[in-house]
Amino acid sequence: MKILIVCVGNICRSPMAEAVLRRRLPDGFAISSAGLAARIGDGVHPVAAEVLREQGYAADDHQARQFERAMIDDAELVLTMEQRHSRALMALAPTLRGRLHLLGRWDGQREIRDPCGRPKASFEEAFEQIERAAQLWCARIA
């Protein structure tokens, strides 16, 4: 199964979710991420990288990718962090219906807010929400 995770910059939330899902899902799952407004080639935000390391994850080789319509053609599941990301993707590709969901869908439709520009505690909170949401998704798809 191919899973695409989308946020805005592809430097905080989606790379964290990508790292968590890669570890939690068995072989046979292809996990990737992209941003709706990514600066191509940027690495993971330093605070996000620090939080990942503290939790035993790594995304040191991550490079931000700009979302492209072709990415969703292969994706069997597309996960977003906020409803506005889902709306933007649906506007670009109405064929996503049924494959597009919030990462926090099974956690009460919880949106995972962008921690960029906020204190480290915001990154830690986002990571905890991502980890909980990933665990709930894995229980359904693995």
Nearest 5°: the CA angle 101, 134, 90 is: 15
Residue by residue, pLDDT tens for the chain (142 residues) are: 999 999 999 999 999 999 999 999 999 999 999 999 999 999 999 999 999 999 999 998 999 999 998 998 889 999 999 999 999 999 988 989 999 999 999 999 999 999 999 999 999 999 999 999 999 999 999 8
CB 113 within 8 A of CB 102: no
Annotated catalytic residues are: 7, 13, 114
pTM: predicted TM-score of the whole model, two decimal places: 0.96
Task: Give just the sign of the alpha carbon dihedral 42, 45, 48, 49.
Answer: positive
Give the separation between CA 43 and CA 45, rounded to whole angstroms. Answer: 6
Domain boundaries, given as residue ranges, for the chain = 2-141
Architecture of domain 2-141: 3-Layer(aba) Sandwich (3.40)
